[in-house]
Amino acid sequence: MSRICVPVCARAIDEMRDAVERAAEVADIIELRLDCLDDVDAAERVMDHARLFGRPLILTLRSAEQGGHSSIDYKSRRQFWSSLRPPATDCFVDLEYDLVQDLSSAVSMQLDADWKQVICSHHDFKVVPPELDRIYERMTATPAGIIKIAAQANDAIDCLPILRLLERARKENRELIAIAMGPAGIMTRVLGPSRGSFLTYGSLDDENATAPGQLTARELRDVYRIERIDSETEVMGIVGNPVSQSLSPLMHNAAFAAANLNAVYLPFQTQDVTEFLRRMVHPKTREIAWNLRGLSVTIPHKSTVMPLLDWIDETAKEIGAVNTIIVRDDQLHGYNTDGSGFIAPLLNRFGSVRYVRCAVIGAGGAARAACWALIKEGASVDLFARNVDRAATTANDSGVPCRELSEADFTGFDIVINATPLGMSGATRGMTPATAAQLQGVRLAYDLVYNPIETVFLREARAAGCDTLTGIEMLIAQAAEQFRLWTGKEPDLEVMRDAALSLI
């Protein structure tokens, strides 16, 4: 059973009441973060209001050291819990380990609650501690009915001890909430309930997250379809660093849902892709039992993964990068769908690009895939780069001339492609590799940046009278080919497109 707990955090009573009403629409359980309230004495009034919505409650008065929003000291928290009279049913109390020890052993000031309804919690906002099992054993020695351990994951492989702890708790018939916090720990929030976690946490919205890496409750339900995940669910995902801005989870999960597949697509943020593949992916060495079927690979790992694979498709070898991995029997097979994804929108537009003169701007993997695909289709290609030395390998391997972008004159070119990150949301948003004056006479400007859809480069191109093609087209085309490789089925392209556009 997948339970989603929505934490409610607000300073004023009325604000918390409003938040409770919103939470009741998407939550299985509502957590009242009493440490957020300016007036903690109003806790019982908030609790009485929350009970009107028929959802089980978790009452939490978190210490600042454990991630709380209040400076209330230990003595005051101890007094608060000793005097509180929570309902006998459908109400849990979340206490830090030191309070559990104190209130379960004190002669006076004992907790007036069923200990089966007590959550004994521990948080580490820096790392997943190496002594995780010892922490768990100390907590299970208390009378608390439920154990909660949340620790910061700084890499996807940090999720391994969290997932192993869930397996241990299931074997020992213990109720456990185990979560790896941060972007690198998202898999534990999505897969946790199917692996025995008592619940998972989902925020009301992005602005109301109460812990790092917390997804919204609607994302858990609508994007990841958490209620349908079980031990047979096929797992796919994107491995890179960072991956939090990727649209791939939206597109692939929507496509899985449309095809009625028991599959989920997750973000895997990792710095050390070698250890990630060894410890979590390769069937011969991985330390986790899961139905992992494939991966998308993004920056900066597309070349790094190649020596780690058992077999690589010729196209990926020629491009010099892998962006798709399939787990096949006991092997990892690598492919590249960037080239085919890049060229498909051009062929849809022109039918053929044979003898068409193309300028590719860039020096990295996207430029390399673009050059490869254009040459394969018989186009004439010139490479332009801000750093010619950095682009030299791509130019030499592709057999194309390379020139300084600062000296670019695109007169006589039919198509100009931006394969740089210039214009992407973030630090380079508002920048462009070419101006309207430089693009005069060009037939088509193709921007591989997809977020935002309307880049400065495309605006400059339209001002010069060019037709345009957005990066969303390549994104969908390469993702569709990945879907085919993993599932053997044809994806619904419009579903993928709608999902991608919903976030841009």
- Which residues are annotated as catalytic? 302
3-state DSSP call for residue 142?
coil
Contacts of 396 (CB under 8 A, 6+ apart): none
Paired tokens of 151: 């620790």
Question: How many contiguous H segments (helices) and E segments (strands) does the chain have?
Answer: 17, 20
Nearest to 197 by CA among 174, 231, 222, 223: 174
Sign of the C-alpha dihedral, residues 256, 262, 265, 271? negative
Give the N- to C-terminal CA distance of the chain in Å, as an integer: 33
Contacts of 21 (CB under 8 A, 6+ apart): 53
How many CB atoms are located within 10 Å of the residue 199 CB?
Answer: 24
3-state DSSP call for residue 95?
strand
Residue type, 365: G
Residue type, 145: G
Which residue is associated with the tokens 């812990």?
211
What does 355-368 look like in DSSP terms, one character per residue? T-EEEEE-SSHHHH
